[in-house]
Amino acid sequence: MSCRRGLSLVLLLFLIHLASALETGAINATGTAHRRRLSRRQVLELRKKLNNINKPAVHTIRSPDGDIIDCVLISNQPAFDHPLLKDHKLQVKPDFWPDQEDGAASTESSPGDDKVSYQLWHQSGECPEGTVPIRRTTIDDILRVGGSVSRYGRKARPPPNPRRIRPPEPAQGSHEHAIAFINGGQYYGAQASLNVWKPAIQVPNEFSLSQMWLLAGSFYGDLNSIEAGWQVSPLLYGDSNPRLFTYWTSDAYRTTGCYNLLCSGFIQLGRSIAIGATISPLSLLNGAQYDIRILIWKDPRTKNWWMRFGPGILLGYWPAELFTHLGDHASMIEWGGEIVNTAPRGHHTATQMGSGHFPSQGFGQASYFRNLGYVDGTNKLKTQVMLQTLAEHPNCYDILRATSGDWGNYFYYGGPGQNPRCQQ
């Protein structure tokens, strides 16, 4: 009997790996087909542009998921190509950290409840001191989005604006959200712990993400945004792995900013976390829950916006020079999930948000954000947050907020997309 169980387990693992390989192969076939249509001159031009994105590596690591991680000298990273940062003085560490308010809920994991996620490439090595790990961009990455280096890694529209009716969605698909938010104050940072899943994506040009936004300015004019979380985006990465991401813009996503380090701007300092790399391990249905903890705050002296990952890893910062409105403070913070719905075959997408389960199903099944907080003008981390919520299509993706002693302000969110109550 035990031998039969062993064979069944081996067969199951084989089928999982086969499905993953077929999925990745189908996605990458798009880039390969585009490459066949390129002339030699076009390929050479693309390679030249890629050389501007991929900086010389001191050391290279091949991740089990197929990523190549380049260990690049801190001084050679893409950030310093930005014209506003030519004379920027590198800040090695923040001058000020947010102070925890008295009586705040602990940000540590509750025993047996949840665990910490890190990254898959750690299985293959580490970057040396004085370098930062950067996921290498390939020709196929660019070709999957039509071969445009200038548009690769950029969002097409602003985040949800709870204060007004949203304009018609663009042709590439509607963006749907389930979020919690605070607004009307002056915010100098935000934090959250969010568990990580692998939501199913119905078609490759859709995505599913879970993140927090720090926002200032006009949503449809000069919006400034700093963002971080995890996402599944076959078009951007060539697979369906959940990955850590960051984003920034200073003009409502028109010409500035990008995901991760795909353009100049964010300055990375830590050598243990690669932005854009696969997160591992992942949460399991009715099993162990793995989350990532993110804290973003503004250094009161330098005005740079810092990001901490996990219990104490300084990832880097967004320099003050990049922003206009965020040169002062954020006026809104949002936490939650977002998907793209391209309405395949005329029906609502089956792309999942979060775990793919509705928030009413609770711990072990639904996705969560916990220990929410913001940094106030005195550099104190405030965890007593008056949350509002927004779910644009609650029959498809919903949100349910609550509070507790261990988790402070938290919420469950997400959903399966297409279901008997969600067809259009």
DSSP assignments along 153-217, one per residue: T--SS----TTSPPPPPPTT-EEEEEEEEEEEEEESEEEEEEE------SSTT--EEEEEEEEES
How far, CA to CA in Å, does 354 sit from each of 115, 153, 196, 250, 376?
Answer: 17, 22, 8, 28, 29
Q: Residue 161: its pLDDT value, please?
A: 77
- What is the DSSP track for 246-286? EEEESSTTSSS--BTTSSS--EE--SS--TTPBEES---TT
Contact 333, 375 (CB under 8 A): no
In angstroms, the CA 34 to CA 101 distance is 54
pLDDT, position 154: 81
Task: Give the pLDDT confidence score for residue 35 in this predicted structure.
Answer: 57
pLDDT of 2? 40
The answer to whether residue 338 is catalytic is yes
**Per-residue confidence (pLDDT) for residue 172, from 0 to 100:** 52
The neighbour count for residue 195, using CB atoms within 10 Å, is 26
Burial class (CB in 10 A: 0-12, 13-18, 19+), 175: buried
Q: Which residues of the chain have pLDDT under 50?
A: 1-24, 26, 102-113, 165-171
Of 176, 206, 334, 338, catalytic: 338
For the chain, report the end-to-end CA distance as a whole number of angstroms: 48
Residues 6+ apart with CB under 8 A from 109: 115, 116, 291
Q: CB-based burial of residue 148 (10 Å sphere; 0-12 exposed, 13-18 middle, 19+ buried)?
A: exposed
Q: Give yes or no for a contact between 423 and 383, defined as CB atoms under 8 angstroms apart.
A: no
What type of residue is 128?
A: P
Can you read off the two tokens belonging to residue 97?
């950290």
Which residues, 6 or more positions from 117, have their beta carbon under 8 angstroms from its beta carbon?
A: 196, 279, 280, 281, 282, 290, 291, 292
How far, in Å, CA of 73 to CA of 81, rounded?
Answer: 14
Tokens 């029906």 belong to 347
Q: What's residue 110's pLDDT?
A: 38
For residue 176, the one-letter residue type is E
Beta strands 305-309 and 174-187 are unpaired
What is the token pair recorded at 130? 């004085």
Judging by DSSP bridges, how do beta strands 330-341 and 208-216 pair with one another?
antiparallel
* 113 phi and psi angles, rounded to 5 deg: -90, -50
206 an active-site residue? no
Give the pLDDT of residue 112: 37
Q: Which of 176, 206, 227, 334 is catalytic?
A: 227
Distances (CA, A) of 141 to 48, 112, 147, 234: 15, 39, 9, 10
- Spatial neighbors of 173 by CB under 8 A, at least 6 apart, are 205, 206, 340, 341, 342, 343
Alpha-carbon span 96 to 51, nearest angstrom: 36
Distance CA 219, CA 199 (A): 28
pLDDT reported for residue 26: 47
Residue 405: CB atoms within 10 A of its CB come to 8
Residue 116: its pLDDT value, please? 65
* Percentage, residues of the chain above pLDDT 90: 73
CB 269 within 8 A of CB 79: no
Whole-number Å distance between alpha carbons of 33 and 288: 40
